[in-house]
Structure 1
């Protein structure tokens, strides 16, 4: 009951379909103006479906200059188990590493892999193609929303979200499970954590000992999102714009970055792109617990307007709204992928 009340009184946990009810009407308005619901396809011309549905992380990484993201290896779901080890050796990706679906869905099936046995277990369960990726050595993580109109020479940052990972701090007497239960945000993840850590949750951490139980900043996996949009500076904008200008056909979306320090980030050093998302990107700074649902609706509306206007300008340059594949077929594929991922 305690967790139910917590979810009910914190809109950030409300179902996606509920939160987006007003946005559906705005989407319909823009669809009528564009005369197609698929106007998002023209937003980022080099991304499949503009980066809205069924987009491959491998293909998106291929658009980003190599120096901006960690070593990454694609693994087909049907390859033999021994071939996985061979791919890992050839790629020179070191353990521990991150495994994640090539076509992802809000952080599902993203997992830290510590040993070869962990990797073999992941592969045996994976009914989807996935990526192996070097574990990024920086502790801090943020999401930066970037917008550039096709007729502009410079882009802008429209929002920044900070991410606090699911970390517990020991007191010398409480088990990790007891520490998790002290925070409703963490306790909501307890069932998943029990599957992953099993008996380890009975361990007692030393006083002030910290344990990062989910080493990536995903809201659905217990991370707390904090609005850092006030930290937008000309220096940071220049760094992000310079990078994004090197990503062919990218105009609208959110990139998740890990970095060493804010000072280094503003200098353009010691940071790495975790992921780059296109037309489906949310301005995730809205999920800061201090923000109301009305603030969220305002920000969502603002960013959908950016996407529509960018799509319009690209369409005027000859970019089609609808690609050669049928849009509804793409949607059905996406729904099937959802079923596979959630059963992982």
Structure 2
């Protein structure tokens, strides 16, 4: 990756390169099809280690190790002083049981945390970007809170201005002095640039990658798809950086350096008992990221996260499954080591209840950006 500014590199978009695949042939397979071999691998590890929930012990300070049902706020609040320097300012609030006073409560919490508009609001418990929205002002926040379920926790986070976005996967064996980065994914939000004549819909159809995922984008855009952007106007089609919602993921493992590894390792070791998971962050430049500088963490995910570089359209299905098996194998191995250290087992019923609670809440969240 050349060291151009994220704004200029993202405006062109990686999918527009000559010869680049717009999507991989398995990228949009139904989940039950793609993950069937992963489920079989999990079953094999279950028999081998005599526990189906062993990965829930990888990060014992996090609910279910981060498989599901974990709190975004609680994870970030585990961070010590070194890790906090790299995390976007945020505050957690719980909506009142009955409507009324939501905005005043939220803005009071924002003031106390030093947050100003625009901010990003997200459910405290969710996955795949569900319910995440960019909020520009008090009126927009009031609308979001009106749509949000009652007596439910959420997070208000400072908007990080860096346009570059990445996911960095980290693993540290229990007792080891150092961990390592096993994956970096560079995330490119779907963007079109206006010419003063074409509709957004036409610009999507003209881009191989965006046209391949147009059903996802057009359903989200609604009537906005008919707008004609001015010449040179960049239109970001979705806010949430998720390949399931149209973003392009590229393998960024060439950015792994000793400096970046040292930085991520220092952050991870300042989070008690954190051994396995992904740091989602925004960064200013590729060269800065290589040096372990110029980035801000927006989310930390545990054992339920995956090394998302597998969704690079250039990644083969063999590499995708090799990566999945390596990481899930590591999760079981770390869980076994934590069990040997005396960490109590995490029951199947408890895990199922956490998953069911998260699924029920996600059905109630407002639409994401």
1:290 aligned onto 2:314: yes
The partner residue of 2:169 within 121, 145, 154 is 145
- For normalisation by structure 1, the TM-score amounts to 0.90
1:83 corresponds to which of 105, 113, 138 = 105
Structure 1 counterpart SS, 2:261: helix
Deviation at 1:283, TM superposition (A): 0.8
Alignment of 1:1-344 (within 5 A): 10-64=25-79, 65-78=83-96, 80-81=101-102, 82-127=104-149, 128-182=152-206, 183-187=210-214, 188-194=216-222, 198=223, 200-322=224-346, 326-341=350-365
The CA distance in 2 between the partners of 1:320 and 1:342, in whole Å, is 36
Tell me the CA shift for residue 324 of structure 1: 11
Residue 303 of structure 1, CA deviation: 0.5
Deviation at 1:231, TM superposition (A): 2.3
SS in 2 for 1:12: coil
TM-fit CA distance, 1:329: 2.2
Tell me by how many angstroms 1:248 deviates.
1.1
Q: How far apart are 1:226 and its partner, in Å?
A: 0.3
- Corresponding position of 1:3: none
Residues in 1 aligned to 2:85 and 2:179: alpha-carbon distance in whole angstroms:
21
Between the aligned partners of 2:137 and 2:304, the Cα distance in structure 1 is 33
Larger mean CA deviation between 229-238 and 97-106 belongs to 229-238
Secondary structure of 2:27 counterpart: helix
**TM-score by structure 2 length?**
0.84
Structure 2 CA distance for aligned equivalents of residues 231 and 270 of structure 1: 14
Taking only aligned residues, the RMSD between alpha carbons, in angstroms, comes to 2.3
> Any idea what SS the aligned residue of 2:60 has?
coil
**Are the equivalent residues in 1 in contact too, given 2:257–2:291 (CA < 8 A)?**
no
Deviation (angstroms), 1:335: 2.8
Rounded to whole Å, the distance in 2 between the matches of 1:102 and 1:191 is 26
Match of 2:14 in 1: none
Number of residues paired by the alignment?
335
Cα drift, residue 113 of structure 1? 0.8
Which ranges of structure 2 fall in alignment gaps of 5 or more residues? 1-20
Cα drift, residue 230 of structure 1: 2.4
In the alignment, the residues of structure 1 paired with residue 200 and residue 23 of structure 2 have an alpha-carbon distance, to the nearest angstrom, of 26
Instruction: Indicate conservation of the 8 Å contact 2:278/2:302, yes or no.
Output: yes
Aligned-pair distance for 1:214? Answer: 2.3
- CA displacement at 1:170 relative to structure 2: 0.9
List structure 1 runs of 4+ shifted beyond 4 angstroms.
6-9
Cα drift, residue 254 of structure 1: 0.9
Answer yes or no: is the 8 Å Cα contact 1:40–1:321 preserved in 2: no
SS in 2 for 1:248: coil
What is the rounded CA distance, in whole Å, between the counterparts of 2:353 and 2:287 in structure 1?
A: 46
Q: How far apart in 2 are the matches of 1:328 and 1:157?
A: 30
* Aligned-partner Cα distance in 1 for 2:346–2:181: 28
In structure 1, stretches of 5+ residues that fail to align are 1-5
Cα 1:124/1:303, change in 2 over 3 Å: same
In structure 1, the residue corresponding to 2:40 is in which secondary structure? helix
Supply the distance in 2 between the matched residues of 1:334 and 1:84 (Cα, whole angstroms).
23
Please say if residues 107 and 218 of structure 1, whose CA atoms lie closer than 8 Å, have aligned partners that are also in contact.
yes
Q: Which moved more, 1:292-301 or 1:42-51?
A: 292-301
The CA deviation at 1:290 is 1.1
